[in-house]
C-alpha cells in the first residue's frame, strides 16, 4: 500500500525479499505515581515500519512536526498503530516521516504493548530509488547498510545521538 501510494510497486518484491520481522512484547511497570513518568525515552525507530498495539493502559506519545507531544488514543481496544521507521524515511527520501515517540506512564497498572517490527535483512543496502530524487527533492541520505547504522547506534556516541540516521549518512 505504501509503495503503491509512492508509485513504486515495482520495488515490492525486492522489499519482501530483503525484510525480516521481529515481534516483541513489552511490559512497563506502573510507576505508582499520579504524575506522568518516562517509560521509554524519545526515539525514532530505525527499522522500516512498526505496527504496535497497547493494552488498556495508554502511554504512547508522538512528537508532531510542530514539536508538540500528542497522546495516542486508540479508537477502540485492539486497534493497531503503524509508525514509519528511519529506513523507510531514508528510502522514500523524506516523503515518509519517522516520528519521535516515547512512552509516558502514571498509576499502578502495568502496561503491555506488542510491536511487530519489519527490519532490513543483515547486509541489505538502503538506497533511495532514483524516482524519489529530483531537483525539488535532492537526495537526503547516502546509501547505507542497516546493520552498520545499528552498530553506530550502539556506540556511546550513537546512544546519545537522537539523530543517528542524519549523523551516519545524512547529506
Binding region for ligand AKG (CB under 6 A) out of 15-23, 52-60, 134-142, 149-157: 52-60
* CB of 154 closer than 8 Å to CB of 61: no
Q: Pick from 45, 47, 54, 149: which binds Fe ion (CB under 5 A)?
A: 45
Does residue number 103 form part of the binding site for ligand AKG (CB under 6 A)? yes
* CB of 41 closer than 8 Å to CB of 84: no
For the bound state, the minimum distance from the C-beta of residue 10 to ligand AKG, rounded and expressed in Å, comes to: 30
Of 45 and 86, the one with the shorter C-beta distance to Fe ion is 45
For the bound state, the minimum distance from the C-beta of residue 115 to ligand AKG, rounded and expressed in Å, comes to: 5
Q: Pick from 92, 93, 98, 113: which binds ligand AKG (CB under 6 A)?
A: 113
Does residue number 40 form part of the binding site for ligand AKG (CB under 6 A)? yes
Binding region for Fe ion (CB under 5 A) out of 42-50, 65-73, 86-94, 155-163: 42-50
Does residue number 52 form part of the binding site for ligand AKG (CB under 6 A)? yes
* CB of 62 closer than 8 Å to CB of 70: yes
Does residue number 86 form part of the binding site for ligand AKG (CB under 6 A)? no
Which residue's CB atom is positioned nearest to ligand AKG?
113
Name which of 19, 17, 16, 21 is nearest 116 in CA terms. Answer: 21
* Interface contacts to Fe ion, rule CB under 5 A: 45
Amino acid at each position: 500500500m505504501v509503495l503503491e501510494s509512492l508509485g513504486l510497486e515495482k520495488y515490492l518484491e525486492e522489499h519482501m525479499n530483503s525484510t525480516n520481522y521481529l515481534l516483541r512484547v513489552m511490559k512497563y511497570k506502573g510507576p505508582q505515581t499520579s504524575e506522568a513518568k518516562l517509560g521509554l525515552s524519545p526515539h525514532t525507530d530505525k527499522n522500516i515500519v512498526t505496527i504496535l498495539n497497547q493494552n488498556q493502559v495508554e502511554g504512547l506519545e508522538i512528537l508532531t512536526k510542530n514539536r508538540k507531544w500528542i497522546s495516542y488514543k486508540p479508537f477502540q481496544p485492539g486497534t493497531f498503530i503503524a509508525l514509519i521507521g528511519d529506513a523507510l524515511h531514508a528510502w522514500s527520501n523524506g516523503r515518509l516521516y519517522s516520528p519521535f515517540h516515547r512512552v509516558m506512564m502514571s498509576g499502578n497498572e502495568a502496561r503491555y504493548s506488542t510491536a511487530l517490527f519489519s527490519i532490513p535483512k543483515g547486509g541489505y543496502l538502503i538506497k533511495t530509488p532514483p524516482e524519489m530524487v529530483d531537483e525539488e527533492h535532492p537526495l537526503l541520505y547516502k546509501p547505507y547498510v542497516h546493520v552498520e547504522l545499528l552498530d553506530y547506534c550502539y556506540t556511546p556516541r550513537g546512544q546519545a545521538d537522537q539523530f543517528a540516521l542524519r549523523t551516519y549518512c545524512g547529506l
